[in-house]
Structure 1
Amino acid sequence: MESREELQSALADIVKWERQQKDIWFWEKLGRIPFMLLDKLTPRFLQEKIGQAVDEIGSFLQSGGRYLLAEGEVLRKLGAASPEEAAGRPLAVMNKAAEELSHSRAAFATVQGATTGFGGIFTLAIDIPALLGLSLKLIQEVALSYGYDPRKKEERIFVIKCLQFASSDIVGKKAVLEQLALFGKPESQGQMASQLQGWREVVAVYRDNFGWKKLFQLVPVAGMLFGAFINRSTLQDAAEAATMLYRKRRVLERLAQLEQQNI
């Protein structure tokens, strides 16, 4: 297992990454333009279909593992039979598994973005919940890579926070980091119910904050290129946020264990 120095070095890299997180873009209001157009031009039946898809994604808070893409694949990468066993793997093994999964899912998102970008505004309506679902699955796989079981309700809260962080501006990122600093502590337990109720707000923020990126995907056919690039970068952002945040949890827990052993 890692030495105290190795864990502290890993933690220093994560803290440096947190400080480097900057605002997505200063022109956030422009980001809402594609969705203003979407609301005006999309037929009602298609809007209802989008709403149903978003509701279905939100239900993962109650159903958990049904949105986990490949638990067996993740555990095989770690050489573990369960999340509890995976939690004892060396940090380097965890990092490698998370990196491989991120590359694989980003490639899938690229194809998905090209496909949904072909039809312009109508396929963009389908792309939003599909990309949300893919991001959700990837974050859960990263959780497993670091030995955390996303089937537990409290872990699904952390999944939501990772998604929030990836799609928020600098103010939102600071707020999420402050919330995660208290994650698992007794004083944060009373907030769980309100956090669960906030899922639809997370979806709204996620949709609006990457809206500007989807602007050029509204053009039929040409949207294939933009959709491929944007979906790949969006999933890479989610993967990076999840990897760093889960890695930080594991490093801090191992440092705490070392402290207890020295008492």
Structure 2
Amino acid sequence: MESIDELQRELAIIEKWEKDQRKIWFWERIGRLPFKLLDKLTPQFIHNKIGTLLEEIGVYIQSGGKYLVNKNKLYKVIETETKMSIRTSSDVKGIPLYSMEKISKEVVARRTRFAAFQGATTGIGGIFTLAIDIPALLTVSLKTLQEISIIHGYDPDEKSERVFIIKCLQFSLADVVGKRAILNELSSFNYGRSRSDKLFSQIQGWREVVYTYREQFGWKKLFQMVPVAGVVFGAATNKAMMTNLSEACMMFYRKRVILERLEKMKEVKEY
């Protein structure tokens, strides 16, 4: 297991990443503007799809719905990598940080390739197949975040973890102002101790996640609406989104693991 110094160095890296996320980029300000106008021109069936996503996100938060992944299958992958007996999420919490990172990157790479292929496929038909791409990408995103959660020793069967996952998703889609707010929320999460109830009240704005999910593509997704040419842009956009989303999720879960381990070491030292 890692020493206190090693954990503190890893924590410093994550905190530097969080600080960088608070910086603003010009394209983030204008990236959503084309979709504001495009919204008025979008066919009703696409708006209906967005409405369905709202309902599905609500179901996911409450029960997991159809999005829950197979934990036991992932436990076997972790067992193969670490040569340790893994039966529960508590067992996973005992594996080294570098193993968590390695397995997470392998899972993310596989999911990202799938999302890129999906974006290329749905880009063939332009605006009409975009209606398929948006909910499909949401499905891949949620499953990827759950897998990262499991690899770090947390159970997405628990409602509190599903809420945390949605906050990670919301963070990756937010503009810089939203990122700052969510970073403050997550930094106040009672790591390593009792679960904070604040996230449950803060997630009441989860409807914003779905609308932001669509809008955050901005001008990049506009190109996917052009039949055939959308193949290239669809693949590139989906890949970029999955990369950013996975990075954020891995950072937040890695931070939780580090802080919990530091807390336990502190308790042992005091004892």
Tell me, yes or no, whether TM beats 0.5: yes
Question: Which string of whole-angstrom CA distances, capped at 9 and with x for unpartnered residues, describes residues 135-179 of structure 1?
Answer: 111111101110011111111111011111111122211111111
Cα distance in structure 1, aligned partners of 2:224 and 2:255: 35
Look up the match of 1:199: 206
Cα distance in structure 2, aligned partners of 1:60 and 1:52: 12
Look up the match of 1:59: 59
- Residue 259 of structure 2 aligns with an amino acid whose one-letter code is L
SS in 1 for 2:247: helix
Cα distance in structure 1, aligned partners of 2:59 and 2:132: 18
Look up the match of 1:78: 78
> What's the CA shift for 1:259?
0.7
Contact kept? 1:38, 1:121, Cα under 8 Å: no
Following TM superposition, the consecutive aligned residue runs of length 4 or more in structure 1 with deviations greater than 6 angstroms are none
> What's the CA shift for 1:24?
5.3
Look up the match of 2:267: 260
Aligned residues: 261
Cα distance in structure 2, aligned partners of 1:48 and 1:88: 45
Cα distance in structure 1, aligned partners of 2:65 and 2:48: 26
Going from structure 1 to structure 2, the CA distance change for 1:54 and 1:141 (only over 3 Å counts) comes to same
Cα distance in structure 1, aligned partners of 2:227 and 2:181: 38
- Residue 265 of structure 2 aligns with an amino acid whose one-letter code is L
- Residue 207 of structure 2 aligns with an amino acid whose one-letter code is R
Cα distance in structure 2, aligned partners of 1:221 and 1:69: 33
Contact kept? 2:167, 2:203, Cα under 8 Å: no
Cα-Cα RMSD? 2.0
Contact kept? 2:93, 2:152, Cα under 8 Å: yes
Structure 1: runs of 5+ lacking an equivalent: none
> What's the CA shift for 1:32?
3.8
Going from structure 1 to structure 2, the CA distance change for 1:41 and 1:204 (only over 3 Å counts) comes to closer
> What's the CA shift for 1:27?
5.3
1:161 aligned to 2:162? no
Cα distance in structure 2, aligned partners of 1:69 and 1:31: 32
Question: Which string of whole-angstrom CA distances, capped at 9 and with x for unpartnered residues, describes residues 72-105 of structure 1?
Answer: 3321222222212111111111111111111010
Cα distance in structure 1, aligned partners of 2:195 and 2:160: 14
Tell me which of 148, 169, 183 is aligned to 1:142. Answer: 148
Look up the match of 1:11: 11
TM-score, L = length of structure 2: 0.89
- Residue 47 of structure 1 aligns with an amino acid whose one-letter code is H
Cα distance in structure 2, aligned partners of 1:64 and 1:144: 14
Look up the match of 1:109: 115
Contact kept? 1:157, 1:195, Cα under 8 Å: no
Look up the match of 1:94: 100
Going from structure 1 to structure 2, the CA distance change for 1:187 and 1:99 (only over 3 Å counts) comes to closer
Going from structure 1 to structure 2, the CA distance change for 1:7 and 1:193 (only over 3 Å counts) comes to closer
> What's the CA shift for 1:69?
3.3
1:40 aligned to 2:41? yes
Going from structure 1 to structure 2, the CA distance change for 1:161 and 1:192 (only over 3 Å counts) comes to closer
- Residue 251 of structure 2 aligns with an amino acid whose one-letter code is M
Cα distance in structure 1, aligned partners of 2:140 and 2:267: 39
Q: Percent identity over the alignment?
A: 48
Tell me which of 132, 143, 147 is aligned to 2:138. Answer: 132
Structure 2: runs of 5+ lacking an equivalent: 80-85
